[in-house]
Amino acid sequence: MADNNKKGKFKIGSIIRNLVLILAVGIFCYSGYQLITIYMEYKEGSDEYQDLEKYVDVAANSSNAETEKQIPEEKKDPDVPEETEINMEETNVDEFGTVIIGDLVDSEELEDTEQEGSEAHVSLNENETTQSAESSDAAEKSKKEKKATPVIEEKEDGSVKILGKIGKVKKRVDFEELKKINPEIIGWLYVEAIDEINYPIVQTDDNAYYLSHTFKKTDNIAGSIFLDCDTKPNFTEANSVIYGHNMKNGSMFGKLNQFYDEETYEKSKYFWIYTEDLYYKYEIFSCTEVGAISESYQRQFETKWEFEDYLKRMQENSVIKTDTELTSADKIVTLSTCTASSDVRFVVQGKLVRAYQVVDPDKTKNDTEK
């Protein structure tokens, strides 16, 4: 009888041990499956975006490439002689380190040459000069107003007009081909200090969509880099907000938090937004952690003083110190990503310092040959 009890207890213990072992193996297999699934999603997302880079050659316009000869040779067409490929004016470098074609042109001077009443404009300038000489206060006011001049403004038809200095740069993004893949593309983002942040920007009427869909609209945890759905796609608003995931493999905005380190900022304080018609260059003035619901995401302001106060607070809250001059006329972009905390975000903000006209070398070559 005692032996039977012992055997019964042994069988029960053995069954329990086997069940625990089976359960452990099951959990291990499921965890392994989940890890493989996540890895495959990461890889698929990364592969897709790497494939898109064939439509882009962004580095040559950046501060890190001061002359045309620094463009990697493999990015040039070996079958086209260098002189024929460029076939444009001599290149220069502007004060923001951008390789431009020819010299900068003042937008007002350009408009004057296209208008018949140029004498009246000269007379007006002479009058303004006389008045400024008579009053130092007026001169100082004029200087401040000049500093507060926006770089761009939106026209009535929704197009964008460049104000101030105009520079021309070579075409670097093939939007024609990219639009065939996804017509919702509105730009391309490139961060000079972090080469890996080199992605198309999309926009749709639902911010949630591109949190889980790639540029090719594939369901994937990498998502996309996307502009807030309520923001104008021409970047003429006071604050345009762009979102991207903080991926563990460093893709998307996974390396944006490198701006916690001042060395990253010192490497380059600029990022680019390339659109089909204009290329925008931004100077970073703030990098900081904010709440998921924060004033950092405020897009519109009732008065210029409200916007000035906002810019001042953003710069003061930055984890790195910047000396960027900010005015109420500025147009800024906020790059936002998540952190380890669900209610904390990391944002990098930059002000537009110059908009460039885009010149297509192939089109210029064809026009010359006609």
Q: At 335, is the secondary structure helix, strand, or coil?
A: strand
Counting as low any pLDDT under 50, the low residues of the chain are 65-87, 113-114, 116-134, 141-142, 145, 368-370
Backbone angles phi, psi at 99, to 5 degrees: -75, 120
For residue 105, the cross-strand partners are 166
Q: 256 vs 192, 272, 304, CA distance in Å?
A: 11, 14, 30
Q: At 366, is the secondary structure helix, strand, or coil?
A: helix
Average pLDDT taken over every residue of the chain: 81
Alpha-carbon distance of 199 to 195, in angstroms, equals 10
Q: What is the pLDDT of residue 111?
A: 58
Strands (DSSP E) found in 32-74 = none
Model-level pTM?
A: 0.77
Contact 239, 169 (CB under 8 A): no
The H or E element spanning position 9 is helix 2-52
Q: 263 vs 33, 241, 268, CA distance in Å?
A: 39, 25, 9
Report the 10 Å Cβ neighbour count for 247. 19
Alpha-carbon distance of 361 to 59, in angstroms, equals 16
Alpha-carbon distance of 56 to 75, in angstroms, equals 10
Report the 10 Å Cβ neighbour count for 24. 10
Q: What is the pLDDT of residue 91?
A: 85
Q: Is 275 left (phi over 0), alpha (psi -120 to 50) or beta?
A: beta
Contact 281, 272 (CB under 8 A): yes
Q: How many degrees, rounded to 5, is the angle at CA 322 between CA 319 and CA 324? A: 140
Burial 143-154 (b: 16+ CB within 10 A, else e): eeeeeeebbbee
Report the 10 Å Cβ neighbour count for 271. 22
Alpha-carbon distance of 241 to 264, in angstroms, equals 21
Alpha-carbon distance of 327 to 264, in angstroms, equals 25
- Which residue, among 317, 320, 347, 318, has the nearest Cα to 334 in the 3D structure? 347
The end-to-end CA distance of the chain, in Å, is: 108
Contact 149, 325 (CB under 8 A): no
- Which residue, among 305, 311, 304, 309, has the nearest Cα to 325 in the 3D structure? 311
The H or E element spanning position 285 is strand 278-291
Q: The tokens of 19 are what?
A: 């069940």
**Per-residue pLDDT tens digits for 95-151:** 999 999 989 998 766 555 445 444 433 333 444 444 444 455 555 544 554 567 789
Q: The tokens of 162 are what?
A: 């460049």
Q: At 155, is the secondary structure helix, strand, or coil?
A: coil
For residue 99, the cross-strand partners are 93
